[in-house]
Structure 1
Amino acid sequence: MTVSVNGVDVKGEPQTSHEFAAVRELLRQRAVAVGLLAKDAGGDQVDAAVEALLAREVTTPTPTDAECRRYYDQHPREFESGDLVHARHILFQVTPRVNVPEMRARAEEALNELLREPERFAAIARELSNCPSGQHGGNLGQIGRGDTVPEFETALFKLRPPGLLPELVKTRYGFHVVAIDQQIPGSKLPYDLVRDRIGERLRAAVEQKALQQYVSMLAGRAEIVGVDLNGSTSPLLQ
């Protein structure tokens, strides 16, 4: 498949999607256009220039106290001190050289197999998980709030019956198949203690949307062949 951005052919590396390569080239060209990068620069210079470009041109507003308070009031179960879960997971790790759609498909295949045969969780974890816990059947032991990244924590502590989660959990590390074995509820934390955590969570969500909109705007002004970057969810933007 031929993919080009404004007449420049791009190719994904063996473990990188064409979309990823096209987004990187689009941002490289923008960095050159605004004087952040020499036209013939490459490698780490491109990565640094893209980072500087996004910092300069993508504005992420700081969530207001009212927005944080509203989130706190609407998600009471997320802010309970002493909440514990006993969980297992199977990690399908995403790195810069991984074909993300292919990795997601592998994770979904494993999840569907476990929905049919949940008793095989330990065996599949040992075979497929990219986490050291895989050698122990995927067992993560006892986890409290704040012990893991926010997106994984949200999935672990969402109000639902114990058991295998029916959907993949996506985090900055990759795709997870997750089973909750036990839930031990705690008591609600005061708003002042969790205000910063809520602000960071809301800011990250807004930043992700702003980055996607920015790439879509650049793509709308460019001549792109072979991929559709409108609403791109390339790992480059995550």
Structure 2
Amino acid sequence: MNTQMFPDLVINGETIPQTAVAAELQNHTASKDNFADALRNAANALVIRTLLLQEARRNGIEAIPQEVSPNRFETEDEAMIRALLEAEIDITHPSEEDIRTEWQKAPERFRTMPLWEVSHILCKCDPNDAVEKELALRRATDILNELRKDGQTFEKIARAKSDCGSRSAGGSLGQLRPGDTVPEFETALRQLSDGEIAPEPVLSRYGYHIVRMDALAEGQPLPFETVKPKISEAMEKAQWARKAKLFVDGLIASASITGADLGRVTSNTKPN
């Protein structure tokens, strides 16, 4: 009786053991609903990695692992894949005219970061606890209704009812820039105008927030010369991604592969 959990992966005659597929599966989000997709993506990632390593060996590439972060070095396989891609992918630096053309498509994209002055009232809860979450939402909704009544100030209610340490400052969080707070909170800030209170409680990993934008300084447009290096870098990265995909697609097209469905995966050819 066949008890294999995963199909055999055979790439140009090289068999990938099931243990390798199981190990790779840990790098792909898997649940009961998407297990088949996660398994497929894990298998395909292994196929692409194997093809790259086979090509590196065929080309006689030897690579010395480099330090990619403090005290963390590439594995030998990662070093070989990097060296192969460096040898095979030639990047053309964009001309100033090309960079300017890209900038002119939407120059308003390139601005200084906005500055937000924010206050909030926190109704703390664990978002994964359904009962706690419901009680916190009810409490936050009641507080929001209080704020809409005459004579109720945000600072007064924050001092009395917020679960955040900022309660002593009337809920004030001071000045914030993008990246200073959790993404779900920042998303709400980006939708508020000067002096506006969010119309509904905002859920974050900390609980429900009643959020007020005390003051808003919009980011200012940046001149071309300032953003030119970043645009050039982004264009080079996009060019690298296109050429890397074409290179991998060529390896797949000329390979003998069984046990994988490479038509249903988006590959990342950069070594992890």
User: Normalised by the shorter chain, which TM-score bucket?
Assistant: 0.5 to 0.7
Change in 2 beyond 3 A, CA 1:219/1:198: same
**SS, match of residue 80 in structure 1:** coil
Asked if 1:200 is matched to 2:211, the reply is no
Name the amino acid aligned to 1:227: A
Of residues 143, 148, 157, the one that matches 2:177 is 143
Distance 1:214 1:227 in 2: 19
Asked if 1:15 is matched to 2:48, the reply is no
Matches within 5 A, 1:109-120: none
Q: Which residue of 1 aligns with 2:11?
A: 5
Matches within 5 A, 1:74-93: 74-84=105-115
Change in 2 beyond 3 A, CA 1:230/1:84: farther
Change in 2 beyond 3 A, CA 1:188/1:4: same
CA contact (8 A) 1:216 1:230 kept: no
How far did 1:85 drift? Answer: 6.3
- CA deviation map 1:36-78 (0-9, x unaligned): 159xxxx922221111000000122222212211121112222
Between the aligned residues of both structures, percent identity stands at 23
Name the amino acid aligned to 1:60: I
Q: Which residue of 2 aligns with 1:188?
A: 221
Distance 1:211 1:80 in 2: 31
TM-score (norm 1): 0.56
**SS, match of residue 81 in structure 1:** coil
Distance 1:54 1:192 in 2: 31
Distance 1:184 1:219 in 2: 51
**SS, match of residue 266 in structure 2:** coil
CA contact (8 A) 2:113 2:177 kept: no
CA contact (8 A) 1:3 1:227 kept: yes
CA contact (8 A) 1:31 1:49 kept: yes
CA contact (8 A) 1:37 1:46 kept: no
Distance 2:250 2:264 in 1: 10
Stretch of structure 1 that moved more, 8-17 or 55-64: 8-17
Distance 2:117 2:258 in 1: 48
Consecutive unaligned residues in structure 1, runs of 5 or more: 88-119, 127-135, 164-180
Matches within 5 A, 1:61-100: 61-84=92-115
Change in 2 beyond 3 A, CA 1:50/1:72: same
**SS, match of residue 54 in structure 1:** helix
Matches within 5 A, 1:18-29: 18-29=43-54
Name the amino acid aligned to 1:143: R
Q: Which residue of 2 aligns with 1:36?
A: 61
Q: Which residue of 2 aligns with 1:212?
A: 245
**SS, match of residue 176 in structure 2:** strand
**SS, match of residue 9 in structure 1:** strand
Change in 2 beyond 3 A, CA 1:23/1:74: same
Structure number with higher relative contact order (C-alpha < 8 Å, ≥ 6 residues apart): 1
Name the amino acid aligned to 1:74: K
TM-score (norm 2): 0.50
Aligned residues: 165
**SS, match of residue 177 in structure 2:** strand
Change in 2 beyond 3 A, CA 1:31/1:194: same
How far did 1:213 drift? Answer: 1.1
- CA deviation map 1:205-235 (0-9, x unaligned): 1111211111000111110112244695334
Name the amino acid aligned to 2:54: Q
RMSD, matched Cα: 4.0
Consecutive unaligned residues in structure 2, runs of 5 or more: 1-6, 28-41, 64-73, 130-163, 165-172, 193-197, 199-211
